[in-house]
Amino acid sequence: MNAPDSFFLPDIQARADQRQLAIQKVGVKGLRYPLALLDADGKVQNTVARLSLSVALPAEVKGTHMSRFVELLEYRRAPLNVNRLLRLLDEMLLRLEATSGEIELAFPYFISKAAPVSAVESLLDYDVRMVVARRDGQRSELTLEVVAPVTSLCPCSREISDYGAHNQRSHITIVARLRSGMSPEELVRLAEEEASCEVFGLLKRPDEKWVTERAYDNPKFVEDLVRDIALRLMKEPRIAQWTVKSENFESIHNHSAYAELSGENS
């Protein structure tokens, strides 16, 4: 019996390349995929992630095995946490026969929050990005990024006004290269605690009174936000490097106020 024709299909990507140019990153980008995550309480949260997966390609190799990136996700359907994501990187490098590679996931992440007075619960969404990378056999690195919406109230406006003060919604972005595991909830909470006030998905009238007065009693410039959060990040031993950004969507201007601060922890 003759073998099927598919057994004799040529494999062009497996041939040697004569140009002798190594490629730092080759893979798939913009892959949208269902994703199960383990939250800080060990509960499973389902979301949809946009992924990029890549490996380094040696100079003598013509192409990588693109299908193996998607196969990797199909074979590993268990809910992800930090440790499992690091193991997923190990498995990708093994499957792709590579010593360097990177996996990036960006996804909406939901946290259940209780209103400050009524205690009514609702979900609030946050943008989260996780990147695991390894370069030339070195130790894997994990970067966690969160974007937390908060309220900021202008100290100058409160000081000069006979009544009231202008406030705005702000986006706090924290990017942290981690030494050990840390959950998105922890970075989100850090940002919310240093804002004029946090925001909620659902508020009753007593809650609305509370958040209004909380912001008024805790005014902060955009500069205050990044400095206060930076002081917290500097004391966190699980973080090696960090960047904090604040964009305040001004309510009295048609532009944003912005500040950014970065540092390393010894």
pTM: 0.91
* Model confidence band, residue 3 (pLDDT cutoffs 50, 70, 90): low
Tokens (6 digits) for 47: 């979301």
Distance from chain centroid for Cα 105: 8
pLDDT of residue 202: 97
* Model confidence band, residue 237 (pLDDT cutoffs 50, 70, 90): very high
Model confidence pLDDT, tens digit, residues 139-149:
899 999 999 99
pLDDT of residue 32: 95
Query: In whole angstroms, what is the distance from residue 42 CA to residue 183 CA?
Result: 11
> In the predicted model, what is the mean pLDDT of the chain?
92
Q: Please name the helix (run of DSSP H) or strand (run of DSSP E) that holds residue 88, with its range, or none.
A: helix 82-95
* Model confidence band, residue 33 (pLDDT cutoffs 50, 70, 90): very high
* Model confidence band, residue 4 (pLDDT cutoffs 50, 70, 90): low
Amino acid identity, position 17:
D
Res. 113: pLDDT tops 80: yes
- Kindly report the backbone phi and psi dihedral angles of residue 238, in degrees, each rounded to the nearest multiple of 5, phi listed first: -80, -10
Res. 41: pLDDT tops 90: no
pLDDT of residue 7: 64
Domains, the chain, in order of start with CATH, read 25-264 (3.10.270.10)
* Model confidence band, residue 153 (pLDDT cutoffs 50, 70, 90): very high
Residues 6+ apart with CB under 8 A from 72: 53, 88, 91, 92, 95
Res. 77: pLDDT tops 90: no
The packing angle between helices 66-75 and 82-95, to 10°, is 140
pLDDT of residue 149: 98
Q: Please name the helix (run of DSSP H) or strand (run of DSSP E) that holds residue 193, with its range, or none.
A: helix 184-193
Query: In whole angstroms, what is the distance from residue 192 CA to residue 189 CA?
Result: 5
pLDDT of residue 2: 59
Res. 14: pLDDT tops 80: no
Tokens (6 digits) for 155: 């100290």
